[in-house]
C-alpha cells in the first residue's frame, strides 16, 4: 500500500510531506466507499488537505466477510482499539452506541480528531463527545449524520454563525418521504406503499426507526443543538411517525392545495419582555407528519430526497437539497469532513470549539402554537357544524377554513341521506393554537353525540 500512496504524479502533487494516519472503524457500505476514495484519490486529497492521508486500517467484526468494494486484504483488522490508539484522525462508521462511543472517546482523549456519521450516538450522548473534543483540543465533525451528502452541519455551524436562526424545518428521512410522496402520487394506503418501498429497497425489513420518526428525531436533536448553540438530546424531541397517515388524509390535503411531509421542526421561541433584555428564549423540537402548502419549497422534495429549510433573522429563508442517504453520498459528506479536519491538523491549528455556548430550556409543546387540520366523521344532519364550531370557540381555537364532504350515493337528496343515517366528513384548519387548547378541543369534540370519530389531527406549517 505504501508504494502507491507515496507516489505523486499529475497536476495534484502535494505541497507538503506531512502525513496523517487515518483509522477507519467500520467496513460496510459507507466505510468501503470512504476507503476506496482515500486510496484512489490520495493525490488530489493530499493537495487539498495539505497532508497525505494514509489509511492505516479498517476495523471490522469479521476480516473474512465478503465486501462490495475490493480493497487490500491487509487493511482489515478486528483490533479497533489498537487501530485507534495510533491514529491522528479516526473515521467512525460502525453506527450504534457501543463500542462506537468508547472508541470515539478514546480517540479524542489521545488528541486525535474524529469524523463520524453516527446520528444515534450524537443525539444521545453528543454533550459528552463535545466535552471530550474541547478538553483535548480535537475536532468532532459529523456532516454525514444529518441529510447524507447535503452540506447542512457546516453551513449552520459556520456560514450562519453571524446570524440568528429562528427555525429549522427538515425532510431528513428518505424512507418516509418516499412513502408519503408515493401515497400522494398514487392515492394508495400507507401499508401498501410501505410494502412496495420494502420491495424496492427504500425501506428496511423492520421499518420502525424510519416510519415512527425515531431516525428523524435523532437528526432533529442534532440540528437544534447547532442551530441554537445549545444542547438538545433525543429525549427532548417530541416524536410522532407516519403510520397513522391515511389515504384520506392525503386526499384531503390535496383538496386544500397541500401535501403531507414528515418534518423535523426545531424552533427558537421567545417569551417575555425583550425590551429590558430579560426575554426568555427556549427551544422546541419535534417530529411529526405536517401539512405543507404545495407552493412551499419543501413540498417539491420528492422521492427519497432530503431537504432542510432554515429561517434566520438576516439570511431569510434558505433551503439545502440533495440525496439524504446511500453509500456514495454519505461517503462524500464523510470525506468533506476528513479533508477539512486534515487541513486543520496539517496547519497545526487547535481544534474547533464545541457548539454549545448557551443553555436554553427545552420548552414543552404548550409553548408552541401551530395551525392544525382536524378531520371528523359526523352524522350528516342539520346543526352539527354549529355544535362542533361551538366547541372550538369554547377553547379559544379559531377556525380558518372548513370543508364538508358528504358520504352516500351521489345524487341522493340531502333529506334521503339524513333519513338513511348518512355520514359527512368535516375538515377544519385552525389558526395557530397551543397544543393544550387543541387537545382539549379534540377531547370535547369526541364527546359530542353527533361526532362518530376524529379521523385525523395533523399540524400545518408554512401557511
Catalytic residue list: 219
Out of 54, 128, 188, 328, which residue is the one contacting a second copy (CB under 8 A)? 328
Selection from 245, 261, 237 nearest residue 119 by Cα? 237
Question: Applying CB under 8 A, which part among 68-76, 174-182, 266-274, 310-318 lies near a second copy?
Answer: 310-318
Q: What is the DSSP string of 339-381?
A: HHHHHHHHTTPPPPPPS----PPBPPGGG-EEEEEEEEEEE-S
Min CB(353)–a second copy separation in Å: 6
* Cα–Cα dist 143/127, whole Å: 17
Nearest-angstrom CA–CA distance, 220 and 239: 10
**Among 337, 425, 435, 461, contact with a second copy (rule: CB under 8 A):** 337
Q: Is 10 in the site for a second copy (CB under 8 A)?
A: yes
- Output 99 or 151, the one with its CB closest to a second copy: 151
Contact partners, residue 389, CB within 8 Å, separation at least 6: 399
For a second copy, the binding residues in 182-241 under the rule CB under 8 A are: 229
CB of 263 to a second copy, least distance (A): 17
Q: Is 353 in the site for a second copy (CB under 8 A)?
A: yes
**How many CB atoms lie under 10 A from the CB of residue 37?**
20
# binding residues, a second copy (CB under 8 A): 68
The window from 5-13, 199-207, 217-225, 379-387 that contacts a second copy (CB under 8 A) reads: 5-13
Given 93, 331, 362, 426, the residue binding a second copy (CB under 8 A): 331
Site for a second copy in 133-162 (CB under 8 A): 143, 149-151, 154-155, 158-162
Residues 6+ apart with CB under 8 A from 79: 59
Segment lying near a second copy (by CB under 8 A), choices 183-191, 200-208, 345-353, 446-454: 345-353
> For residues 256-295, which are near a second copy according to CB under 8 A?
277
Q: Evaluate whether 374 touches 454 at the Cβ level (below 8 Å).
A: yes
Calculate the CA 251 to chain-centre distance.
Answer: 25
Contact 258, 294 (CB under 8 A): yes
The residue range among 6-14, 21-29, 283-291, 377-385 that interacts with a second copy, by the rule CB under 8 A, is 6-14
CB of 246 to a second copy, least distance (A): 28
Cell of 84: 485507534
C-beta of 310: minimal distance to a second copy in Å?
8
Please, which residue, 333 or 445, has the CB nearer to a second copy?
A: 333
Q: E strands along 146-294, which residues?
A: 165-171, 238-239, 258-271, 280-293
Tell me whether residue 102 or residue 317 sits nearer to a second copy (CB atom).
Answer: 317
The three cell numbers of residue 198 are 420494502
Question: Using CB under 8 A, which of the segments 217-225, 326-334, 373-381, 442-450 binds a second copy?
Answer: 326-334
Q: How many CB atoms lie within 10 A of CB 162?
A: 9
Helix or strand holding residue 209 (H, E): helix 208-211
Q: How far is CA 368 from CA 10, 363, 437, in A?
A: 57, 8, 11
Let me know: does 329 contact 321? Beta carbons within 8 Å: no
The reply to whether 15 sits near a second copy by the rule CB under 8 A is yes
Lookup: cell for 311: 429561517
- Identify the residue among 336, 388, 395, 461 touching a second copy (CB under 8 A): 336
- Residues interacting with a second copy, by CB under 8 A? 9-12, 15, 33, 37, 41, 44-45, 47-50, 143, 149-151, 154-155, 158-164, 229, 277, 297, 300, 312-323, 326, 328-329, 331-340, 343-344, 347-350, 352-353, 357-360
Amino acid at each position: 500500500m505504501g508504494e502507491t500512496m507515496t507516489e505523486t504524479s499529475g497536476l495534484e502533487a502535494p505541497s507538503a510531506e506531512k502525513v496523517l494516519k487515518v483509522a477507519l472503524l467500520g467496513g460496510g457500505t459507507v466505510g468501503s466507499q470512504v476507503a476506496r476514495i482515500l486510496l484512489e484519490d490520495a493525490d488530489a486529497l493530499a493537495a487539498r488537505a495539505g497532508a497525505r492521508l494514509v489509511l492505516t486500517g479498517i476495523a471490522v467484526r469479521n476480516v473474512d466477510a465478503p465486501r462490495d468494494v475490493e480493497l487490500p486484504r491487509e487493511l482489515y483488522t478486528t483490533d479497533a482499539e489498537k487501530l485507534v490508539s495510533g491514529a491522528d484522525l479516526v473515521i467512525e462508521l460502525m453506527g450504534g452506541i457501543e463500542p462506537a462511543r468508547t472508541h470515539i472517546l478514546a480517540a479524542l482523549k489521545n488528541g486525535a480528531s474524529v469524523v463520524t456519521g453516527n446520528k444515534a450516538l450524537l443525539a444521545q450522548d453528543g454533550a459528552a463527545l463535545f466535552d471530550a473534543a474541547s478538553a483535548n483540543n480535537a475536532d468532532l465533525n459529523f456532516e454525514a449524520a444529518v441529510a447524507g451528502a447535503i452540506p447542512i452541519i457546516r453551513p449552520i455551524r459556520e456560514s450562519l454563525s453571524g446570524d440568528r436562526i429562528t427555525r429549522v424545518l427538515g425532510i431528513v428521512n428518505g424512507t418516509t418521504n418516499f412513502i408519503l410522496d408515493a401515497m400522494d402520487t398514487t392515492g394508495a394506503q400507507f401499508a401498501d406503499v410501505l410494502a412496495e418501498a420494502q420491495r424496492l429497497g427504500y425501506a428496511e425489513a423492520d421499518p420502525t426507526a424510519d416510519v415512527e420518526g425515531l431516525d428523524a428525531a435523532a437528526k432533529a436533536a442534532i440540528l437544534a443543538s447547532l442551530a441554537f448553540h445549545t444542547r438538545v438530546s433525543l429525549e427532548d424531541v417530541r416524536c410522532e411517525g407516519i403510520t397513522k397517515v391515511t389515504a384520506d388524509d392525503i386526499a384531503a390535503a390535496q383538496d386544500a392545495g397541500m401535501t403531507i411531509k414528515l418534518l423535523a421542526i426545531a424552533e427558537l421561541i421567545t417569551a417575555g419582555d425583550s425590551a429590558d433584555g430579560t426575554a426568555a428564549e427556549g427551544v422546541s423540537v419535534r417530529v411529526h407528519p405536517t401539512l405543507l402548502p404545495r407552493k412551499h419549497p419543501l413540498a417539491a422534495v420528492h422521492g427519497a430526497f432530503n431537504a432542510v429549510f432554515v429561517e434566520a433573522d438576516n439570511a431569510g429563508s434558505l433551503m439545502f437539497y440533495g440525496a439524504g442517504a446511500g453509500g456514495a453520498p454519505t461517503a462524500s459528506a464523510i470525506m468533506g469532513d476528513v479533508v477539512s479536519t486534515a487541513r486543520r491538523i496539517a496547519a497545526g491549528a487547535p481544534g474547533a470549539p464545541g457548539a454549545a455556548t448557551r443553555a436554553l430550556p427545552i420548552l414543552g409543546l404548550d409553548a408552541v402554537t401551530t395551525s392544525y387540520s382536524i378531520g371528523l366523521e359526523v352524522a350528516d344532519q342539520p346543526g352539527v357544524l354549529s355544535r362542533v364550531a361551538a366547541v372550538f370557540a369554547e377553547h379559544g381555537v379559531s377556525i380558518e377554513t372548513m370543508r364538508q364532504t358528504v358520504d352516500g350515493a351521489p345524487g341522493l337528496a340531502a333529506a334521503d341521506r339524513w333519513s338513511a343515517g348518512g355520514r359527512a366528513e368535516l375538515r377544519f384548519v385552525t389558526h395557530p393554537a397551543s397544543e393544550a387548547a387543541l387537545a382539549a378541543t379534540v377531547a370535547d369534540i369526541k364527546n359530542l353525540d353527533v361526532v362518530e370519530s376524529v379521523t385525523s389531527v395533523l399540524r400545518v406549517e408554512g401557511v
